[in-house]
Amino acid sequence: MSYFNFYSWLLVLFLIPATTVDLQSCDLKPFAELKNAQEIALGGPFRYKYKRFISLYDITLRVPKGTDPTQIFNGEHAFSLDFEYLRRIKKGIIIKSAGITLNNNLDLKALPELAKQVAELHAKYVSVNKKDRSQFIYCPNHGTEFYINGALVHTIPGKQFAQLYFKIWFGERPISRKMRGDLLDL
């Protein structure tokens, strides 16, 4: 990619507003405001701090109201996981952190099954800056979509990815147990 194309792409990417999704209908076409905000339960926002001192991002979980928190990641319920970054984080650090947490949460059988999808997603990650936003949107009949600053970056079809990848934040050994508890306290 040429120098000009790369920076043109970044400029466009960071000028697009963050997206939200109507989880009730699971319409994955993003739009500016939730149409039925009163029907959406929020977990968070939670401020994630590295080593308890360095604020990295605010994270919010959105699910349709009435969803049992213990059933969110079984592949049957729509959800959105939204991030707002509080500082610059390099792509390599994001990928390394995700890899370590996945290794801590997945068994030896699940890791190879997920490896190709994780590699494809991680190839789409970018370094983020303060006030950038990213979002994962999962819909049972579609799969998982990943957005950066409102732009669709990658789609992963099927349920298995959502059931396993989100263990980074919601598994037995998540990146933060406090974060998991606060987000699932809908």
Q: DSSP secondary-structure letter at 71?
A: G
Q: Does residue 118 lie in a domain region?
A: yes
Q: Does residue 88 lie in a domain region?
A: yes
Q: Does residue 3 lie in a domain region?
A: no
State the residue range of the domain holding 123.
Answer: 16-184
Q: What is the pLDDT of residue 177?
A: 94
Q: Does residue 72 lie in a domain region?
A: yes
Q: What is the pLDDT of residue 14?
A: 34
Q: Does residue 45 lie in a domain region?
A: yes
Instruction: Report the CATH number at residue 39.
Output: 3.50.70.10
Structural domain count, the chain: 1
Q: What is the pLDDT of residue 137?
A: 92
Position 31 pLDDT exceeds 70:
no
Q: Does residue 44 lie in a domain region?
A: yes
Q: What is the 3-state secondary structure (H, E, C) of 154-183?
A: EEEECCHHHHHHCHHHHCCCCCCHHHHHHH
Q: Quote the CA–CA distance of 49 and 92 in Å, as a whole number.
A: 18
Q: Does residue 10 lie in a domain region?
A: no
**How do residues 103-160 score in pLDDT, each as one tens digit?**
898 887 877 878 899 999 999 999 999 999 999 999 988 899 999 999 999 999 999 8
